[in-house]
Amino acid sequence: MNIVWATSEAAPFAKTGGLADVSYSLPYALAENGHHVSVFMPYYPQIMGDRCNDTESIYDLLRVSFGEGNEENASIRRHKINGNLTFYFIEYNRFFDRPKLYDWEGNAYSDNAERFIFLSRAIMQAVLALDLDVDVFHSNDWHTALCSVYLKSALYNSQSNFRQTKSVITIHNIGYQGVFQKPNLYWTGLGWEYFNVNCLEFYDQINFLKAGVLTSDMVTTVSPTYAEEILSPEFGFGLERALQHRAVKGKLRGILNGINVQEWNPETDKLIPHNYSAKDLQGKSRCKYALQKEFGLPARPEVPLYGVVSRLAHQKGLDVFIEAIDEMLKEDDAQFVVVGSGELWQENAIVQYAKEYPEKFGGFIGYNNKLAHMIEAGSDLFVMPSRYEPCGLNQMYSMAYGTIPIVSSTGGLEDTVKNYSAQRIDTATGFKMYDLYPAALRETMRWAASVYRNDKPAFNKMVKNGMALDFSWHHTAVEYEELYQYATARF
């Protein structure tokens, strides 16, 4: 198939979260399976840095209609990964030459509506300019959701490149929808007939993600459980009715993300001090020693060491974690290492714990890739108390590294982690909690520590179970191939 993949970010060029990882790894896996994949994203000079040198300018005057009777000129840059996978970058410095992707110092750019309307329209024009045939057009999140609307519109539905095209949109996090004031409809080039409850209208505003959901041939999200959760008011963030409409027609699917098993592999990882495998775990105990030393903790192999790598945001439940461990730091023989940034009060709490309990708690404010790898390798237990988690990657990294995850029973965490019980030890890979409040998290963490201390055979069996699982992108790519074929044959 000829697949166009539209995104606002992709690793290693620009990244704020899991969308960037998916936007490289899944197209790469699809290309390995023989499909021709063209990834379109903005060209971010300040963010891409030296990666800019990997791109070449191939189209100088890409004409993009923007507003009534107005035309802007952009450029197209290219980076070929292999014969089947090419990255194309929309170069338009007015909108994309910025120090961060979506916001500055926590405040969203005031022209984000214009920026991503322009991106969506420019991608459509770029496909025509490059004369790409498109079997499947795959948009991602609200930033490129308008592409699905454009495909159905009179602006593009008669173009030969799109005549047989089927559209797919993936929701990576429904908490972000692209909701803007309705005068921004002017920039789209679409008429006011698109401002209705079956497309863009959302409480007298415009909602890009809603429009993408209601106009795409298929809607996917990044885990089966999350696809069920977003049908409810609790997790649907106001789009549950639109998603229910899609689900009833068989147009909503949950497909679990994978992980990059080349980057996240304890046997070959160059960022950890000692490599190891399920057959020989000696290197893991050495990684624990190195992690304790890195954070200035006493090197005690017998103490359970809990790791956290997370954004310090409401979604991630680290506020509950901070409250839960207060009692544990006072009473339990345990150690904690945390890497994260986000809400200021949570950052301050981490700094304060490190000062008050230097033999039990180590913290790093910010993100550090090497420390993230060291925590996955050196921790005994990894804590993810998310309020909701569309997919989650760290629980899969943890299992690959023989680190037992402690998770909330939600979204991709529910799908990937099998709860411990003495009766199901042959399949158990972690510990789950079903109510997110401090006492529940604290007791789940103590439960895990009890198994670690008092039932080493069971704990080690869980380590081996997790390391035996295959979370590679190959499985995800196969499921998307089947979805594309289904859409092509049915609609």
Q: 2-258+473-490 and 282-467 share one CATH topology?
A: yes
Q: Which long-range contacts (CB under 8 A, 24 or more apart) does 197-201 make?
A: 199/149, 200/149
Task: Give the mean model confidence (pLDDT) for residues 383-403.
Answer: 97
What integer pLDDT is reported at residue 18 of this predicted model?
A: 86
Backbone angles phi, psi at 435, to 5 degrees: -135, 125
Residue identified by tokens 């992709």 is 10
Q: Of the candidates 152, 164, 175, which has an alpha carbon nearest to the alpha carbon of residue 221? A: 175
Q: Compute the mean pLDDT over every residue in the chain, rounded to the nearest whole number.
A: 96
Instruction: Work out the average pLDDT over 211-227.
Output: 98
Domain covering 2-258+473-490, topology: Rossmann fold (3.40.50)
Architecture of domain 282-467: 3-Layer(aba) Sandwich (3.40)
Mean pLDDT in residue range 104-123: 95
Indicate if the pLDDT at residue 207 is higher than 90.
Answer: yes
Binned at pLDDT 50, 70 and 90, residue 491 comes out as low
Q: What is the pLDDT of residue 38?
A: 98
Which sign, positive or negative, has the C-alpha torsion 297, 301, 306, 310?
positive
* pLDDT per position as a tens digit, 88-102: 999 999 999 999 999
Residue 71, pLDDT score: 94
Collect all residues with Cβ–Cβ distance below 8 Å to 151 and sequence separation of at least 6: 124, 137, 157, 162, 165, 167, 215
d(CA 91, CA 73): 9
pLDDT tier for residue 69 given thresholds of 50, 70 and 90: confident
Q: What is the mean pLDDT of residues 232-254?
A: 97
Paired tokens of 23: 């936007």
For 432-489, what is each residue's pLDDT tens digit? 999 999 999 999 999 999 999 999 999 999 999 999 999 999 999 999 999 999 999 8
Share above pLDDT 90 across residues of the chain, in percent, rounded to a whole number: 95
pTM over 0.85: yes
| Domain spans in the chain, listed from the N-terminal domain onward | 2-258+473-490, 282-467
Confidence band (pLDDT; 50, 70, 90) for 87? very high
Strand partners, 307: 337, 382
Tokens representing residue 427 in the block:
């399949």
Cβ–Cβ under 8 Å, residues 476 and 256: yes
